[in-house]
Structure 1
Amino acid sequence: MQISLTQKYNVPGPRYTSYPTVPYWNEADFTTEKWAASFQKSFSESNFQDGISLYIHLPFCESMCTFCGCNKRITKNHSVEETYIKALLKEWSLYCRLLPEKPSIKEIHLGGGTPTFFSTNNLEHLINGIFSYANKAADYEFSFEGHPNNTTYEQLKKLYDLGFRRVSFGVQDYAEKVQKAIHRIQPFHNVAKVTFWAKEIGYTSIGHDIIFGLPYQTIEDVIDTIEKTNSLKPDRLAFYSYAHVPWIKGNGQRGFNEENLPKDAEKRKLYEIGKQLLAQNSYHEIGMDHFALTSDSLYKAAHNTKLHRNFMGYSASKTQLMIGLGVSSISDSWYSFAQNTKNLEDYYQLLEWDKLPVVKGHILNEEDLIIRKHILNLTCELETSWNNTLNFKEINSVLKNLAEIENDGLIIIEKDSLKITEAGRPFVRNICMAFDLHLKRKSPETNLFSMTV
């Protein structure tokens, strides 16, 4: 029996928000001192031209969502807010002490966890505290993730007044049986309310996150969710595959059985139906798993080949230096990565000792930088080339590994370039894997990654 392309290529693989991917970081050669030197170098190269980005991780949630793979701390005790913000500002001050002058901030993204777990006053205190050490870049873009069940009008208005113009709301799916399975009961009314509030206040980019491949999810559920979404007309959408990684996230992703998840062709059909509906409603596919209206900055960036991808996901603008603040956050200087401790108590302790809470990282070598650029090209522009600056000695081996993917019509290879076809869009991660020299040299012996399709 002939297998489908989905069955053929649906293998475990990285999501490529970085290269090298975290499991292949060379931690033995990494020190906090090397990281400090790296971000200082990047700052000196980019601050005036591009500014820097901040990713701020706010880990607290009032309840556990079983689909979530983020680092979080479940609590209903809101007294934790002030202690955590004090720690964030201490960490930021430690970074600023290492810089020769005030940084100019181009991007801020508040992620989580649940950023809207924090009160309006505490969010204001956080952002004002950040800018007591920094300036705003001329073309800044600030964004945050909002939970439709607890985002208030006051939070939206205050963050807007502080410069935020983009907000994304986690929808996942509107079917009650799916919401019960993932422990995320969230009526359409709540999503509509916060979406209309954001539009009324003046947010210029409102996003919704939708997931396919969730437990008990059917084609009818996806159709209903996208029809409801279209009625609200968000500016952009993330429509991505559920990453089932219980071996990493423990009991948080064991709230249902494996057999309750749609698989292979059934799962892919959920995406194809959803994608077709989105196209009919004027949404354009951007990179991997993202869609946007032509008026949105994400579409414009993709159209002008200025799309960027990092640990925050896709971005309409690029900064060379991204500093991650908060427990588990990852920083990126382009030349190196650094990750904070995932343990909240350790995070507080290191800051009390006036130490950056970085516990691991990777210094990129020349080969890493070349491959990183190829993978960025593939995920952002769906093409790459290996001219003089991006040539590397294993290119012929990579092309050999891509022969079958080319035969299946997923890519077109020319003399010194590669382009992903429309049929190849669902398999971008597989194509990137052929360029991943770390993965090629050492295949994982245990479960590390979610499935690619």
Structure 2
Amino acid sequence: MKNSLIQKYNVPGPRYTSYPTVPYWNETDFSYAIWAATLKKSFEESNTSEGISLYIHLPFCESMCTFCGCNKRITKNHEVEHPYIEAVLKEWTLYCQLVEARPVIKEIHLGGGTPTFFSTKNLEDLINGILNHATKAETYEFSFEGHPNNTTHEHLKKLYDLGFRRVSFGVQDYSEKVQKAIHREQSFHNVAKVTFWAREIGYTSIGHDIIFGLPFQEIEDVVDTIEKTKSLQPDRLAFYSYAHVPWIKGNGQRGFKDEDIPKDGEKRVLYEIGKKLLSKNGYYEIGMDHFALATDSLYQSFQNGKLHRNFMGYSSSKTQVMIGLGVSSISDSWYSFAQNVKNLEDYYQMLEWNQLPVYRGHLLTQEDLIIRKHILNLMCTFQTSWANEADYCKEIPEIILQLNEMQQDQLLRIDEKKIMVLEAGKPFVRNICMAFDLLLKRKAPQTELFSMTV
């Protein structure tokens, strides 16, 4: 890829797990009553036909990883586990009372933090407590994120017995120098061990998360990491660009200097080499940052045009309703977004008051819904169309005008009522989506909000 294109398009931009993006939510016109009404409406429309998704945020970690921008609480005190599980189940009970019908659960994803910080007993109590008030969909998918250093055979077996068939392990990079900088020191032996255990137990989709652009990371580090990954043959891979956002309070990105991080073309070379190696070893590029073997459900969903993207990332199936449980979790009723309080003590207090711990959100306008659909299409299928009158908005000509330069750079093709992202344009899909982001264009951020797109 030409360095001139990287320099041209490497600007701060959203990752588009939602539209509108969180900094552009209209919190003034949002209220709990709006959230409750849109959730009930969407639940009634979709619960019996497709079910709902649950994201459960488990925030505790025993140590701080300096590459991480997630909401977490660092502690070695495991007495925090039980009260937190009780609080999440209380929140779930309040949601079940709100929707006034038995939810059908299509997806559960345990994220963090470190879900495997929790004991198998507490995880079992959590899942059983959720399912006591719900029915599993016929084709349900339960998944969780595991830390290779503390995921035990007992964790994997217990969660498998509870219905989990997909697990992703955070690898990041195998270089000792890089691991030390990001405070995530784990051996290849530990990753291999948990991967083999999961396969032996019967997990059908095992994922590894790898990051490029980390401090001190060089070409040989990426090659070595992918060669080691190849030997374990995970079913899917997240090959993420490191998002350097040290201005976000409390995210821990202070363990290294800005000059220690690969920049622009240097960083993109790491991706291109990694992508080439992954392709050579049978992995297909799926959407943005993701790769999968042809046997994995993510690849099959991409091929069938059913790939979906939400606050949990890419998913092999869509649900109209996604409820986020736990501190800082974000929920999506399709018509509105709602986020829980970020402070653990506030989370507990609101639940004691029998209140859902929502503190902000956004009611999507008709324009939002149209733009959201186009951005989802681009992120999931690398194309979008406004041939259907319902998908057209008056700003489309202006958007096309802005994309003409990208067409000249051979990153995409513009037809009469359609846009297709070309192979050379896939690394710039965030930039292409930004052309559709009307809220971003109307009000450019005055402070640092987003990571760089390349």
TM-score bracket, normalised by the shorter chain, equals over 0.9
Residues 52, 320 of structure 1: 8 Å contact kept: yes
Q: Tell me the TM-score normalized by structure 1.
A: 0.99
1:117-142 deviation digits (Å, cap 9, x = unpaired): 00000000000000111110000000
Task: Specify whether residues 129 and 3 from structure 1 end up closer, same or farther in structure 2 by C-alpha distance, changes over 3 A only.
Answer: closer
Counterparts of 2:251 and 2:341, CA distance in 1: 21
1:184-224 C-alpha deviation (Å, 9 max, x unpaired): 00000000000000000000000000000000000000000
**1: CA distance, partners of 2:99 / 2:431:** 39
1:227 is the counterpart of 2:224? no
Aligned mates of 1:400, 1:391 — CA distance in 2: 15
Q: Tell me if the contact between 1:43 and 1:321 (Cα under 8 Å) persists in the aligned partners.
A: yes
Match of 2:206, SS state, is strand
Aligned amino acid, residue 277 of structure 2: L
Q: Is the 8 A contact 1:69 1:249 kept in 2?
A: no
Q: Name segments (4+ residues, structure 1) moved above 6 Å.
A: none
Deviation, structure 1 residue 3: 5.5
Distance 2:111 2:384 in 1: 30
Residue 208 of structure 2: aligned partner: 208
Say which SS state the counterpart of residue 391 (structure 2) adopts. Answer: coil
Q: Give the Cα–Cα distance (whole angstroms) in 2 for the partners of residues 237 and 247 of structure 1.
A: 28
Task: Specify the alignment match of 2:326 in structure 1.
Answer: 326
2:98 maps to what in 1? 98
Aligned to 2:128: 128
> Does the residue aligned with 2:423 lie in a helix, a strand or coil?
coil
Residue deviations 1:281-340, cap 9 Å, x none?
000000001000000000000000000000000000110000000000000011000000
Larger deviation, residues 397-406 vs 173-182? 397-406
Tell me the distance in 1 between the aligned counterparts of 2:248 and 2:407: 33
- Cα deviation, 1:76-116, whole Å, max 9, x if unaligned, reads 00000000000000000000001221100000000000000
The amino acid of 1:436's aligned partner reads: D
Which one-letter code corresponds to 1:274 in the other structure? G
SS in 1 for 2:424: coil
How far apart in 2 are the matches of 1:250 and 1:358? 21
* Corresponding residue of 1:264: 264
- Tell me the residue number matched to 2:429: 428
Within 2, Cα distance between the matches of 1:40 and 1:160?
32
The equivalent of 2:449 in structure 1 is: 448
Residue matched to 1:199: 199
- The answer to whether 1:21 aligns with 2:18 is no
Q: Equivalents in 2 of 1:184, 1:221: separation in Å?
A: 15
Take 2:307 and 2:433, find their aligned partners in 1: how far apart are those partners?
17
Residue 169 of structure 2 contacts residue 209 of structure 2 at CA under 8 Å; is this kept in 1? yes
Map of 1:352 onto structure 2: 352
Unmatched tracts of structure 1, length 5 or more: none
SS of the aligned residue for 2:124 comes to helix
Match of 1:340, as an amino acid?
N
The AA in structure 1 aligned to 2:426 is R
Q: Deviations over 1:392-430 (max 9, x none)?
A: 000111111111111100000000000000000000000
In 1, Cα distance between equivalents of 2:346 and 2:395: 41
Alignment partner, residue 414 of structure 2 = 413
SS at match of 1:285: strand
- Point out where structure 2 has 5 or more consecutive residues left out of the alignment: none
Which residue of the partner structure matches residue 81 of structure 1? 81
Residues matched between the structures, number = 452
Distance 1:452 1:326 in 2: 29
DSSP-derived class of the 1:145 partner: strand
2:353 maps to 1:376:
no
TM-score (norm 2): 0.99
Preserved contact between residue 104 and residue 135 of structure 2 (Cα < 8 Å):
yes
Taking the aligned partners of 2:417 and 2:153, their CA distance within structure 1 comes to 53
- What secondary structure is seen at the aligned counterpart in 2 of 1:266? helix
The offset of 1:251, in angstroms, is: 6.1
C-alpha distance in 2, partners of 1:32/1:10? 38
> How far is the alpha carbon of 1:18 from its aligned partner?
0.1
In structure 2, C-alpha distance between the alignment counterparts of 1:354 and 1:11, rounded to whole Å: 44
- Tell me whether 1:182 sits opposite 2:163 in the alignment: no
Letter in 2 for 1:450: S
CA drift at 1:7:
1.0
Q: Distance in 2 between matches of 1:99 and 1:438?
A: 31
CA RMSD of aligned residues (A): 0.7
- Which residue identity lines up with residue 292 of structure 1 in the other structure? A
Aligned partner of residue 245 in structure 1, secondary structure: coil
Kept in 2, the 8 Å contact 1:102–1:134? The answer is yes
Residues of 1 paired with 2:4 and 2:186: CA distance?
35
Contact 1:59 1:327 in 2 (8 A): yes
2:324 partner letter = G
Please give the residue correspondences for 1:243-282 in structure 2 after superposition, counting only pairs within 5 Å. Answer: 243-250=243-250, 252-282=252-282
CA contact (8 A) 1:178 1:215 kept: yes
Q: Distance in 1 between matches of 2:281 and 2:201?
A: 24
